[in-house]
């Protein structure tokens, strides 16, 4: 609740016990990203590998979580199975409010359970339950079973992994309440390593609000901005899938393993097409009235005589890029069908799609064949990709086990590194240019969300290394502030510095509000220090040749500009991390 | 006399804004429990949401079960709550056939007062205040009349 310290539940899965810890630092790091870094510093090891049972899996919320609209995200931090370095992944669903109402600012999970287990945590509950019978169970079936096993319908969050996480696949994500994900950099494998199939967070506490009318009035004002001002229209209407047609138009949408950046077939998988023929309904994270979650449907005839089943699959820009345009799938139901398998298996759809795109081109170039892929891969072949997705999740053979650890790892053995679409991890869907490529390759999470490099590319024609790097550093710090509160980044236009200070002040966080300008940069430094201590070398991430050779609306990439940007951003990160926190 | 109705729950996106508004504005709490309306998924998120709230019984069993008169029938349906009279026995919670009453760990009970404060916070217009006794009440569950 509102307090000058963090209240954190630290659980040891090996003993099935936990303890509440009170941790200082609230005004310095706020929560979320800042708290997660603080907790990794306290409970994690920079010397031991990701799969040491002692390494913590951390979930953290912020001081504004639940108190204001769109303060609805949770930061998950861990030593990445993909990188073997410190990282974060973010998700919403009900996770953030459930943690708030479990009266926890943070949840730290250490140790390894003796059998496949489910952790149940609430304001008055802590249990580690044996769920060995769920071994190999897919994400959706797991959700159904867990809902029947534990109470709290509507006011709980169920985080779980699929077969990919259990297999230790480094592209395995953590599913949050069916439609959201801590997707990237292997959180699912970090959970699987702990023999932890699921985490049920029961949000069953009640808190008294501060006296006076300030909070209610401010809430109403923010609510109005989120629902009536038009600021969130993009997310509310077509959702992030609206970007597909836009990026295709400016020749910045990766197609068929980035062999092209535009294609007339976009009309089959545009946001408009999804909304028109495959959108079933919308959903929301708890505490967010925008409802950006777009749930599509796809039906499957499983037997003759018109026997059908149907699937509900949430789609967004990124999975449509990764499992659609990147794989040459040009119709909505095909994308949803492949995405459904990725969801069930508990794979990060973005990484898995980009990895299979590489495998398809490697097949075209005869570098690999059915001996590796089992099913022949061909761009546009929906059924082949559905099967390959299962092979990837199950680490079916040596090839898939390697590919599941990262496309570059497979390319190191089979060749084809020059056309692996990897920028630190499998790329996000923006062929916008040198600033984005630098941003993802060197960014803290190797994510398009680390800073707005893709946006900078679109707004700046000039090639000014200093200005671009300054933007990346500043924008990352601004986002660190938001992810420490923890706001959805879609609300970054709403939550400016002044409004954040007002919100904090309204809750009594006066010192935090007055020191707001320093929190973002401080958290940014903390995170980079951990990342570097766990092995990251800024400025050295390999950017494959394909990124240097593509063309978009600006024309051909400028290789020397890209190299200069990467070197300069790497220097900036090293300087950042060297500063005192 | 108007009562709270939920004519278009098939539009619900599960944001809990209604519950949070009731707790915030009526009960001065940060909570999704201590509210007159509470949202649950019906069989998981894939099948949508239901709202637990007072359906404004004309002869409320909760009021009949209350041994201290803390709950009494409200004109038009539902109940009036007199907190000072409540001893936290929970009889009303057990008596309600639709699970509309929440009891917190201190024994205090929370039931919809039909004040309508939640309605304006529903982004999809799932909720409405309607005249008690209207034959249309409960109809229009697809929400077509509200587009």
Mind listing the pLDDT tens digit for each residue in A39-74? 999 999 999 999 999 999 999 999 999 999 999 999
Predicted pLDDT of residue B45: 59
In this prediction, residues B109-138 reach a mean pLDDT of 88
Residues of chain A contacting B35 with CB distance shorter than 8 Å: none
CB distance A456 to A471 below 8 Å:
yes
Q: For A251-265, A288-302, B36-50, B77-91, which range has the lowest pLDDT when averaged over its residues? A: B36-50
* Alpha carbons A292 and A284: distance in angstroms, whole number: 6
Residues of chain B contacting A153 with CB distance shorter than 8 Å: 40-41
Helices A559-578 and A465-482 sit at what angle, rounded to 10 degrees? Answer: 50
SS3 for A321-380 is HHHCHHHCCCCHHHHHHHHHHHHHHCECHHHHHHHHHHHHHHHHCCCCCHHHHCCCCCCC
User: Bridge-partner residues for A119, per DSSP?
Assistant: A128, A199
B107 inside 8 A of chain A by CB: no
* Alpha carbons A5 and A10: distance in angstroms, whole number: 15
CB distance B32 to B22 below 8 Å:
no
Cβ-based neighbour number of residue A563 at 10 Å: 15
In this model, does residue B70 exceed pLDDT 80?
Answer: yes
SS3 A546: helix
Predicted pLDDT of residue B142: 42
CB distance A526 to A483 below 8 Å:
no
| Interstrand relation of A180-182 and A6-12 (parallel, antiparallel or unpaired) | unpaired
Check CB contact under 8 Å for B15 and A286. yes
Q: Which residue has the tokens 């790329």?
A: A427
A216 inside 8 A of chain B by CB: yes
Q: What is the pLDDT of residues A16-33, one digit of tens each?
A: 999 999 999 999 999 999
B57 inside 8 A of chain A by CB: no
Q: Where are the alpha helices (DSSP H) in A431-464?
A: 434-442, 453-459
Nearest to A177 by CA among A333, A73, A32: A73
CB distance A123 to A102 below 8 Å:
yes
Size of interface A-B (CB pairs under 8 A): 95
SS3 A16: coil
Residues of chain A contacting B14 with CB distance shorter than 8 Å: 154, 283-284, 286
Predicted pLDDT of residue B146: 36
Note every long-range contact of A112-116, with CB atoms under 8 Å and residues 24 or more positions apart, other chains counting. A112/A13, A112/A14, A112/A53, A112/A193, A112/A194, A112/A195, A113/A13, A113/A14, A113/A16, A113/A194, A113/A195, A113/A196, A114/A14, A114/A195, A115/A195, A116/A166, A116/A195, A116/A196, A116/A197
Check CB contact under 8 Å for B15 and A291. yes
Strand-by-strand arrangement of the A293-303 sheet = A279-283, A293-303, A307-315
SS3 B112: coil
Tokens of A426: 């499998």
B108 inside 8 A of chain A by CB: no
Cα dist from A33 to A48, A109, A112, A516, A522, whole Å: 21, 16, 24, 15, 11
Cβ-based neighbour number of residue A528 at 10 Å: 25
Residues of chain B contacting A231 with CB distance shorter than 8 Å: none
Tell me the pLDDT band of B132, cut-offs 50, 70 and 90. confident
Neighbour-count burial for A200-213, b at 16+ CB within 10 Å, e otherwise: bbbbbbbbebeeee
> A486: cis peptide before it, omega within 30°?
yes
Q: For A365-379, A427-441, B33-47, B91-105, which range has the lowest pLDDT when averaged over its residues? A: B33-47
Predicted pLDDT of residue A187: 98
* Alpha carbons A422 and A441: distance in angstroms, whole number: 8
Which distant-in-sequence residues (6+ apart) come within 8 Å of A349 by Cβ?
A: A183, A318, A319, A322, A323, A339, A342, A343
- Percent of chain A at pLDDT exceeding 70: 100
Q: Which of left, alpha, beta for A332 (phi over 0: left; psi -120 to 50: alpha)?
A: alpha
Check CB contact under 8 Å for A97 and B30. no
Residue A512 per-residue DSSP state: H
Nearest to A158 by CA among A170, A141, A133, A175: A175
Give residue A191's Cα distance to chain centre: 15
| Pick among A148, A154, A217, A235 to test the B interface (most B CBs inside 10 A) | A154
Residues present in chain A in total: 581
In this model, does residue B140 exceed pLDDT 50?
Answer: no
CB distance A473 to A65 below 8 Å:
no
Q: Which residue has the tokens 């729950």?
A: B9
pTM: 0.95
Tell me the pLDDT band of B144, cut-offs 50, 70 and 90. very low
Tokens of B6: 């939920």
Cβ-based neighbour number of residue A517 at 10 Å: 12
SS3 for A198-237 is EEEEECCCCEECCCCCHHHHHHHHHHHHHHHCCCCHHHHC
Which distant-in-sequence residues (6+ apart) come within 8 Å of A221 by Cβ?
A: none
The backbone torsions φ and ψ at residue A86, rounded to the nearest 5 degrees and listed phi first, read: -65, 135
In this model, does residue A92 exceed pLDDT 80?
Answer: yes
Predicted pLDDT of residue B85: 98
* Alpha carbons A548 and A550: distance in angstroms, whole number: 6
**Residues in B 77-106 with any Cβ partner in A closer than 8 A:** 104-105
CB distance A419 to A407 below 8 Å:
no
Residues of chain A contacting B17 with CB distance shorter than 8 Å: 69, 223, 287, 289
A283 inside 8 A of chain B by CB: yes
Check CB contact under 8 Å for B44 and A144. yes
List of domains in chain A: 6-202 (3.60.9.10), 232-425 (1.10.569.10), 432-483+515-578 (no CATH)
Nearest to B54 by CA among B12, B87, B13, B5: B5
Check CB contact under 8 Å for B105 and A124. yes
CB distance A452 to A476 below 8 Å:
no
| Interstrand relation of A422-423 and A425-426 (parallel, antiparallel or unpaired) | antiparallel
Check CB contact under 8 Å for A215 and B24. yes
Predicted pLDDT of residue B43: 64
- Percent of chain A at pLDDT exceeding 90: 97
Which distant-in-sequence residues (6+ apart) come within 8 Å of A558 by Cβ?
A: A434, A463
CB distance A73 to A285 below 8 Å:
yes
Predicted pLDDT of residue B41: 85
A297 inside 8 A of chain B by CB: no
Which distant-in-sequence residues (6+ apart) come within 8 Å of A416 by Cβ?
A: A358, A361, A362, A365, A367
* Alpha carbons A492 and A497: distance in angstroms, whole number: 10
Nearest to A287 among B16, B23, B28 (CB): B16
List of domains in chain B: 2-56+99-146 (3.30.70)
Tell me the pLDDT band of A229, cut-offs 50, 70 and 90. confident
CB distance A361 to A419 below 8 Å:
yes
Q: What is the pLDDT of residues A236-274, one digit of tens each?
A: 899 999 999 999 999 999 999 999 999 999 999 999 999
Nearest to A207 among B31, B39, B124 (CB): B31
Round the average pLDDT of chain A to a whole number and report it: 97
In this model, does residue A510 exceed pLDDT 80?
Answer: yes
Q: What is the pLDDT of residues A129-181, one digit of tens each?
A: 999 999 999 999 999 999 999 988 899 999 999 999 999 999 999 999 999 99
Instruction: Evaluate whether ipTM surpasses 0.95.
Output: no
Tell me the pLDDT band of B143, cut-offs 50, 70 and 90. very low
Predicted pLDDT of residue B136: 52
In this prediction, residues B57-78 reach a mean pLDDT of 96
Neighbour-count burial for A283-314, b at 16+ CB within 10 Å, e otherwise: bbbbbbbbbbbbbbbbeeeeeeeeeeeebbbb
Calculated CA dihedral for residues A557, A561, A567, A570, nearest 10 degrees: -70
* Alpha carbons A535 and B59: distance in angstroms, whole number: 69
A265 inside 8 A of chain B by CB: no
The backbone torsions φ and ψ at residue A292, rounded to the nearest 5 degrees and listed phi first, read: -80, -10
């Amino acid at each position: 609740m509102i307090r000058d310290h963090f209240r954190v539940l630290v659980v040891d899965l090996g003993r099935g016990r936990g303890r509440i810890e009170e941790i200082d630092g609230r005004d310095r790091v706020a929560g979320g990203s800042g708290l997660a870094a603080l907790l990794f510093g306290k409970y994690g090891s920079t010397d031991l590998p990701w799969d040491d049972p002692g390494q913590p899996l951390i979930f953290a919320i912020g001081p504004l979580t639940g108190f204001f609209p769109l303060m609805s995200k949770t930061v998950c931090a861990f030593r990445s199975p993909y990188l073997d370095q410190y990282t974060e992944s973010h998700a919403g669903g009900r996770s953030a409010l459930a943690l708030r109402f479990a009266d926890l600012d943070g949840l730290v999970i250490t140790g390894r359970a003796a059998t496949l287990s489910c952790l149940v945590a609430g304001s008055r509950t802590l249990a580690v339950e044996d769920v060995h019978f769920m071994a190999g169970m897919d994400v959706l079936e797991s959700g159904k079973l867990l809902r029947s096993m534990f109470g709290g319908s509507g006011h709980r969050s169920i985080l779980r992994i699929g077969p990919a996480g259990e297999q230790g696949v480094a592209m395995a994500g953590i599913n949050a309440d069916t439609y959201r994900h801590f997707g990237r950099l292997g959180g699912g494998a970090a959970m699987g390593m702990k023999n932890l199939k699921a985490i049920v967070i029961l949000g069953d506490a009640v808190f008294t609000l501060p006296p006076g009318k300030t909070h209610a009035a401010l809430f109403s004002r923010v609510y109005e901005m989120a629902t009536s001002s038009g600021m969130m229209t993009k997310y509310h209407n077509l959702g992030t899938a609206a970007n597909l047609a836009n990026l295709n138009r400016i020749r910045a949408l990766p197609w068929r393993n980035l062999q092209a950046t535009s294609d007339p077939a976009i009309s089959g998988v545009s946001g408009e097409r999804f909304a028109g023929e495959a959108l079933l309904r919308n959903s929301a994270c708890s505490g967010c009235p925008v409802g950006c979650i777009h749930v599509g449907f796809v039906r499957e005839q499983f037997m003759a005589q018109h026997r059908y089943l149907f699937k509900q699959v949430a789609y967004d820009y990124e999975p449509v890029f990764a499992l659609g345009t990147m794989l040459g799938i040009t119709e909505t139901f095909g994308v949803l069908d492949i995405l459904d398998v990725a969801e069930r298996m508990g794979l990060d759809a973005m990484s898995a799609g980009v990895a299979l795109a590489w495998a398809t081109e490697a097949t075209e170039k005869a570098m690999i064949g059915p001996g590796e892929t089992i099913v022949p891969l061909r761009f546009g072949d929906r059924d082949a990709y559905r099967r390959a997705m299962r092979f990837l999740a199950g680490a079916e053979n040596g090839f898939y086990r390697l590919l599941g650890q990262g496309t570059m790892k497979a390319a190191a053995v089979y060749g084809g590194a020059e056309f692996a679409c990897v920028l630190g991890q499998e790329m996000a869907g923006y062929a916008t240019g040198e600033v984005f490529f630098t941003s993802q390759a060197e960014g803290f999470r190797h994510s398009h969300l680390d800073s707005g490099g893709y946006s900078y590319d679109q707004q700046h024609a000039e090639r000014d290394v200093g200005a671009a790097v300054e933007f990346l550093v500043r924008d990352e710090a601004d986002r660190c502030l938001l992810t420490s509160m923890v706001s959805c980044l879609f609300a970054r236009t709403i939550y400016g510095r002044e409004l954040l200070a007002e919100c904090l002040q309204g809750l009594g966080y006066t010192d935090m509000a007055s020191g707001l300008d320093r929190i973002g940069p401080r958290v940014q430094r903390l995170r980079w220090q951990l990342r570097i201590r766990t092995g990251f070398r800024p400025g050295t991430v390999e950017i494959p040749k394909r990124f240097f050779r593509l063309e978009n609306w600006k024309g051909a990439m400028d290789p020397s500009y890209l190299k200069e940007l990467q070197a300069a951003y790497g220097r900036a990160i090293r300087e950042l991390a060297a500063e005192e926190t | 006399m108007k009562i709270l109705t939920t004519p278009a729950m098939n539009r619900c996106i599960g944001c809990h804004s209604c519950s949070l508004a009731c707790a915030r504005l009526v009960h001065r709490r940060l909570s999704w429990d201590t509210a007159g309306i509470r949202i649950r998924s019906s069989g998981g998120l894939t099948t949508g949401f239901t709202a637990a709230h007072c359906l404004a019984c004309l002869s409320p069993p909760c009021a009949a079960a209350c041994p201290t008169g803390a709950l009494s029938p409200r004109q038009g349906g539902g109940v009036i709550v007199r907190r000072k009279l409540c001893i936290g026995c929970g009889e009303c919670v057990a008596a309600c056939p639709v699970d509309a009453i929440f009891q917190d760990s201190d024994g205090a009970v929370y039931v919809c007062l039909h004040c309508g404060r939640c309605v304006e916070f529903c982004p999809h217009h799932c909720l409405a205040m309607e005249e008690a006794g209207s034959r249309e009440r409960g109809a229009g569950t697809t929400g077509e009349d509200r587009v």
